[in-house]
Amino acid sequence: MHMGSQIHATLNEYAGILLEHIPAGVALFDARDFCLLAANQRFYHFIQTHLDASRESDTLIGHPLAEWLPAADAAEAAALVALFRTVSETGLPYQAEEYAVRLPNRNLVYWNWSLHPVPDEQGHTIHLALYGRDVTASVLARHQVEEAHVSLTRLHTTTVAARQQLKVIETVARSARASLDTRSIGQAAVDAISASLQPLRLSLHVADPRQQALRLLCLSSTQARDAGLPSLEYISYDSPLIAAQARKGYDPILVENVQDVVASGMLPGDLPLLTPDMRGFICIPLWLKDHFEGTLSASFPEPVHPHGPEVQTLLGCSPHLTAALAHARLHAAVEDERARLRAILDQLPEGILLVEAADGTINYANAAAAAILGLPLHDLVGTTFHQHAQGNAHDDTPSRHALPWNFVVIRALCGETASGQETVVWQPDGSTLSILSSSAPLRNQEGVITGALLVFQDITAQKRLEHEKNAFLSLASHELRTPITAIMGFAEILQLSAEQEQRLNPASQRALLAQIVAQSDHLTRLIEEMFDLTRLENAQLSLHCDWHDLLAMLNEVIASQNITAHGQSIQLVVQGCAATEPVRGYFDEQRIRQIMNNLISNAVKYSPTGSSIEVGLQCTSESPEEALLWVRDHGIGIPAHELPLIFERFHRASNLDQAMSGLGLGLYLVKELVARHAGRVWVESVEGQGSIFYVLLPLQRKA
Ligand code: ADP
């Protein structure tokens, strides 16, 4: 106790010193009028710097607070006075943390201050003690730390966003490098961008210049009601949609806030695809040099900014997507070209084989090649060419021989170019074809032989024709010479008899002259046949049709044939109509006469003397529009296997006697002339027994 009062006495003694050295401003106010009663230097100093540097401490002491507070900030002064009053009235202390005070030089200082009620012995607040400490330095230091933190946080956010953008771009670039399929590249891009930016809708369209439209490649949409919006499948170049307009320029189209633009009237509010939740919109036209490849469009629920992550990410992805689309376009163009070339090769009538130099594999053969070699296409492509030796392709016996076309391939693989070489192909069924082959080595850019190209043409038909023509020429010269020799022989006999005055008797003379006339007729017929053949081949044979009596014509033909027949009797049989009534028909009388003459003279030629020949005509009321004609003989007949060939030109059956003259043209002309009358000809024959040739002839005039 003694000790305590001693300390108290010592404190009183040093209170002044303590108050002056305490690192805080201390002041005592009257609790009723808020007059400043006492303060330490630090308080004065603060008030002076805060208010007015020239203000002396004696103008403060004894003066109420309201008087010396700065008048400029009346509201703040009033608030302070109110605060003092509250503390005085309530007896509760007030504490202010980091109270900011603006100095006349505009700088801010911060104070932590508190106002404490000082009660008298009855507990009434008689004084107010203010205690204030300048915390400006620590506040400013903290502010600096906070600012540094804010800018660091901002930097971090930007870095994270940039990293995120790079990740998306990297994903798109990687998928573009790893895949050739544009759809999967597009989908990877759309997925990566969507996951990072959360757009309302993101679409990648490919330009389709042929359709004059943008075709949807990939879409990502979070809008559940997309089904109700116009389809994005095809956007015509004429469409009012921004994506369609984007192709008119190279620059991206950026609408920071669609709703603002609509509100300002610059865009119509009824734009297709515009939804109330849509804010930002970006559309990037994808150009590769001067080629418009497509568009990348995205809409967002928040506004977008030119330097924002949305624009930056989409712009970062766009070169990769452009490259992928261009690549797909060029690839498709090459594929198209390849398919076209392949279609051309597939359709060519010439056989084409491509053989690999490395192992002799046939890596391409067209249908014509397969047909000429007599193998199914799948037995040819993928096999090696030397597998196709004579005999079975799957038979590896040593007796197999390489086929002639194998040598052509080998020569091409050795670098030799050959054209127009005639060779023979043995088909698996044993038949042979004549082919004309050309071959050439295929070289790569370095000139190394990588394969062989073999082109071959089936010239069997031409060969056969050539052969037939040669045979025909020798036959024709022989056939023409025979009547000429006979005519000359008979003429010489007549001439000699006239010169030597050993006149032949009139009967012999008549017989010789009759022979000359008959041989001349034969010669004329041969020459006419040849002319007709030429006319037919040159499409110059025309009919001169009119109404004629078929029955009368037949009677005339039979009468004249009976005169020249070799002892055969030629009879007319009429069925289905009266033999005395005319049978009217619309035909070329000369040509139908020629047809019947041909058939009857063949019957005469190929049947024995004394046999009978029947010429028939059937004309029924059931089918008055046509007549059936036939010529039946009991001659040598035609071998069954040759029946299908008998109407072909130059074909003469194998059962003929050498002495039986003819060019093998008569039946061919019959068939062609009947066909021109829209009729039909056929034969029934048994070798050694005889033949019947039928002609079905339309009688009506065709419209
Ligand atoms: P060709 O001048 O040889 O008679 P065609 O074209 O008239 O020529 O006849 C072709 C071939 O048809 C004849 O060579 C013959 O082999 C056969 N042929 C035609 N008519 C008869 C027939 N009535 N009887 C037997 N064979 C016939």
Dig out the tokens for 476 from the structure.
Answer: 């024709």
Q: Stretch 263-279: mean pLDDT, rounded?
A: 80
Indicate the pLDDT class of residue 1, thresholds 50, 70 and 90: very low
Residue 129 has pLDDT above 50, yes or no: yes
Nearest one of 361, 360, 349, 374 to 424, comparing CA atoms = 374
Q: Whose CA is nearest to atom 4 of ligand 1?
A: 662
132-188 residue pLDDT tens: 998 999 999 999 999 999 999 988 888 888 888 888 888 888 877 777 778 888 888
Ligand 1: residue of 522, 566, 667, 669 to mutate (most ligand atoms within 8 A of CB) is 667
pLDDT at 392 over 60: no
CA of 634 to the centre of ligand 1 (A): 14
Atom of ligand 1 nearest to the CA of 653: 16
CA dihedral in degrees (470, 471, 476, 479; nearest 10)? 150
**267: which DSSP letter?**
S
Q: Residue 676 Cα, ligand 1 centroid: separation in angstroms?
A: 21
Contact 526, 483 (CB under 8 A): yes
Token pair 């800018």 in the structure block, residue: 151
- 14 pLDDT exceeds 80? yes
Distance between Cα 658 and ligand 1 center (Å): 13
Nearest to 456 by CA among 470, 437, 471: 437
Q: How far is the CA of 512 from the centre of ligand 1 (A)?
A: 28
pLDDT > 70? residue 5: no
Chain length of the chain: 703
Q: What percent of the chain has pLDDT over 70?
A: 93
Rounded CA-CA distance 625/623 in Å is 5
In this structure, which residue's CA is closest to atom 14 in ligand 1?
652
Q: Which residue has the higher pLDDT, 174 or 699?
A: 699
Ligand 1 pocket test, pick from 529, 602, 665 with the greatest ligand atom count within 8 Å of Cβ, gives 602
The arithmetic mean of pLDDT across residues 241-263, rounded, is 89
User: If you take atom 2 of ligand 1, which residue's CA is the nearest one?
Assistant: 662
> What's the average model confidence in pLDDT over 316-320?
90
439 or 5: which carries more pLDDT confidence?
A: 439
Mutate to test the pocket of ligand 1, among 523, 529, 606 (most ligand atoms within 8 A of CB): 606
Tell me how far the alpha carbon of residue 602 lies from the centroid of ligand 1, in angstroms: 6
DSSP state, residue 689:
T
Q: Whose CA is nearest to atom 7 of ligand 1?
A: 666
Span 302-314, pLDDT tens digits: 999 998 889 999 9
Pocket (CB within 6 angstroms of ligand 1): 602-603, 606, 633, 635-638, 646, 651-653, 656, 662-668, 691
Residue of 638, 669, 694 to test ligand 1 pocket, by largest number of atoms within 8 Å of CB: 638
**Residue 690 Cα: closest atom of ligand 1:** 24
Amino acid identity for residue 566 in this structure: H
Centre of ligand 1 from the C-alpha of residue 460, in Å? 25
Rounded to the nearest 5 percent, the helix, strand and coil shares of the chain are: 45, 25, 30
Would the pLDDT of 236 be above 60? yes
Which positions ≥6 away from 80 have C-beta within 8 Å? 65, 69
**Atom from ligand 1 closest to the CA of residue 529:** 2
- Per-residue confidence at 397, pLDDT binned at 50, 70, 90? very low
> Which residue has better confidence, 682 or 467?
682
Taking CA atoms only, the protein residue closest to ligand 1 atom 20 is 602
Mean pLDDT is lowest, of 226-235, 356-365, 591-600, for 226-235
Residue-wise pLDDT tens digits, 412-467: 999 999 888 888 888 878 888 899 999 999 999 999 999 999 999 999 989 988 88
- Whether residue 2 has pLDDT greater than 80: no
Query: What are the DSSP E strand ranges found in 525-580?
Result: 546-549, 569-575
Q: What's the mean per-residue pLDDT of the chain?
A: 87
316 CA distance to ligand 1 centroid (A)? 87
Nearby residues of 643 by Cβ (< 8 Å), 6 or more positions away: 683, 685
Ligand 1 atom closest to 664 (CA):
8
Total Cβ atoms within 10 A of residue 674: 23
Residue with tokens 């019959």: 670
Tokens of 382: 């993928």
- Ligand 1 center to residue 569 CA distance, Å? 19
- Pick the more confident residue, 552 or 539: 552
pTM higher than 0.85 for the full model? no
**327 vs 483: CA distance, rounded Å:** 79
Ligand 1: residue whose CA is nearest its atom 11: 652
Kindly give the distance from the C-alpha atom of residue 653 to the centroid of ligand 1, in angstroms, as a whole number: 7
Q: How far apart are CA 369 and CA 408, in angstroms?
A: 14
Q: Is the pLDDT of residue 351 over 80?
A: yes
pLDDT at 343 over 80: yes
Given ligand 1 and candidates 600, 601, 646, which is best to mutate, with the most ligand atoms within 8 Å of its CB?
646
Q: Does residue 393 register a pLDDT over 50?
A: no
CA distance 466 to 460: 10
Pocket test for ligand 1, best of 570, 652, 673 (most atoms within 8 A of CB): 652
Amino acid at 41: Q
Going by CA atoms, what residue is nearest to atom 16 of ligand 1?
653
pLDDT tens-place string over residues 58-90 = 778 888 888 877 766 788 888 889 999 999 999
CA of 472 to the centre of ligand 1 (A): 15
pLDDT at 289 over 50: yes
Q: How many angstroms separate the CA atoms of 314 and 312, rounded?
A: 6
- Give the percent of the chain with pLDDT over 90: 47
CA 552–ligand 1 middle distance (angstroms): 26
pLDDT of 527: 92
CA of 555 to the centre of ligand 1 (A): 23
- 644-665 pLDDT, tens per residue? 999 998 889 999 987 788 888 9
CA distance 380 to 364: 8
CA of 687 to the centre of ligand 1 (A): 12
Residue 513 CA to ligand 1 center (angstroms) comes to 28
Confidence of residue 199 (pLDDT cuts 50, 70, 90): very high
Neighbour-count burial for 134-150, b at 16+ CB within 10 Å, e otherwise: bbeeebeeeeeeeeeee
Are 334 and 342 in contact by the 8 Å Cβ rule? The answer is no
Looking at the CA of residue 663, tell me the nearest atom of ligand 1: 2
Q: How confident is the model at residue 242 (pLDDT cuts 50, 70, 90)?
A: confident
